[in-house]
Amino acid sequence: MIFARTNLPEEELGEILVRRGKILEREYLKIRQSLEPRQKIEDILLQKELVSQKDLYEGMIAQLKEMTLSIFPFFDAEIDFEEKGRFVEKDLKSKISVISLIEGGIRKMPYHPSLRTFMEKKIPYSKVRIHLTLQEEEKKILEVIDGKNPTEALLPSAGLSPDLFWKSLYLLFCLDLIDFRVAESIPVEERTRVAPPSGPQTQLAEVLALAEKLQSMNYYQILNVSRDASDAEIKKVYFHLARMFHPDSFDQNLPAETKEQIDEVFDQITKAYKTLSNKEERTVYDRKLATALPEEGRDVGRKADIKFRQGKTLFNQGRYEDAIIFLEEAVRLRPNKSDYFLLLAMAESKLPLFRKKAEEDFLKAIDLEPWNAEAYIGLGLFYKQEGLPAKASRQFRRAVDIDPEHKVALKELNLLRKEEKKKGLKALLSTDLFGRKKK
């Protein structure tokens, strides 16, 4: 994957660095337009000192993750791995958590009938292990697995849609939290036997996967307890996790970076316990959580912002039809963003088939932010393009009312006045002293 390349705009290294705030979009577009064949954008970024080695490396890791996750929806594809060079493992500065990739990839991929075909008529059994980053639906399935009943029998008691059930069950299998037996071949007395706990490598993989997600987790999620968990429950879980993830539990010859990640996980587990086990601190923390945007909302916001950026890039490249596809998805996800509607309307105004909708979206942008002069400017330019100078003039005047020094609005109003004077003079010259049209 180190040498992987992509032809999807959202997976390009420059796009990722822009989304991460490491380079400005205008700088990226300028470099992209001047890029020669076989020239690597990362080399130019370093030469121009636009990014540091560290930022570039982190961007490339993020790119590899996105490229890997995009493969998961394919069930009938063939993947070829071509050897391009030799790497010594110790030379790599960081490792991407396989567990994290599996979780992200399977959760994002759509349901496919092959999942059910693979797992039906088998009896799942749990392995004796805790996994901290499971979502609620996955926990529900893990709770109903008893080592006796086949997968189909568990579906009703899980309380999930069939698609989500089979996908979540497959995730548990890929994370090695469960395994399957063929129902017909297992004696009844053996069906409750579970597999032995996993070894140190699995424990290390778990702590590294948790380290990657710490920044997006609250204290309840770190301890894997509910918001109404009792003091006794919090204490019990903490001591279990402390034993499991204490730095002394791992090989002391691990790389320094890995040790830092383990220390960070243990520190956060300890901070979570100290906060939630103190009544006053827990009350304050709960208030902060209550006012924060829910994780689901943040995810939707991030996805909408990515779509908007992709649409903006395509708009700047003059690919208006493609831009509209991304921008329509952005406004669907966040229908209260004026700048989303404004850029969508600007893209639509470039294509004859979308001009009626363009006017609607300009008006929607104005309705959401009536104090935004740019929305009036956009609608004014649209009316001017459509040959409606009176309507255009009204929009430019509204923009000037909001921002009396707005250069574009003042310039357009001046041009419209000159055009009006020309028309008036032309009309005057074409008539005689009595206002009759000259022959």
CATH number at residue 186: 1.10.10
The continuous run of DSSP H or E covering 308 comes out as helix 295-316
Please report whether residue 397 resides in a domain.
no
Please report whether residue 271 resides in a domain.
yes
Please report whether residue 376 resides in a domain.
no
Q: Which of 190, 216, 250 is the last residue of a domain?
A: 190
* Per-residue pLDDT tens over the stretch 90-113: 455 556 777 888 888 898 888 888
CA angle 180, 184, 189 (to 5 degrees): 80
Q: Which of 151, 172, 190 is the last residue of a domain?
A: 190
Residues 207 and 186 in one domain: no
Domain span holding position 238:
200-291
* Per-residue pLDDT tens over the stretch 385-401: 988 988 899 999 988 88
pTM assigned to the model: 0.45
Please report whether residue 44 resides in a domain.
yes
pLDDT-derived band at 192, boundaries 50, 70, 90: very low
Of the candidates 125, 6, 116, the one whose C-alpha atom is nearest the C-alpha of residue 64 is: 6
Please report whether residue 409 resides in a domain.
no
Query: How many domains would you assign to the chain?
Result: 3
| Integer Cα distance of 231 and 219 in angstroms | 14
Please report whether residue 46 resides in a domain.
yes
Please report whether residue 359 resides in a domain.
no
Please report whether residue 26 resides in a domain.
yes
Structure token digits, residue 250: 């791992």
Tokens 């074409």 identify what position?
Answer: 430
pLDDT score recorded for residue 433:
47
Residues 183 and 227 in one domain: no
First to last CA, the chain: 79
**Burial class of residue 47 in the structure, from the number of CB atoms within 10 Å of its CB (0-12 exposed, 13-18 middle, 19+ buried):** exposed
* Per-residue pLDDT tens over the stretch 17-73: 888 888 888 888 888 778 777 778 888 888 888 888 888 888 888 888 888 888 888
Residues 211 and 275 in one domain: yes
- The answer to whether 106 and 72 are in contact (CB under 8 A) is yes
Residues 87 and 130 in one domain: no
Q: Which of 291, 324, 359 is the last residue of a domain?
A: 291
Residues 210 and 286 in one domain: yes
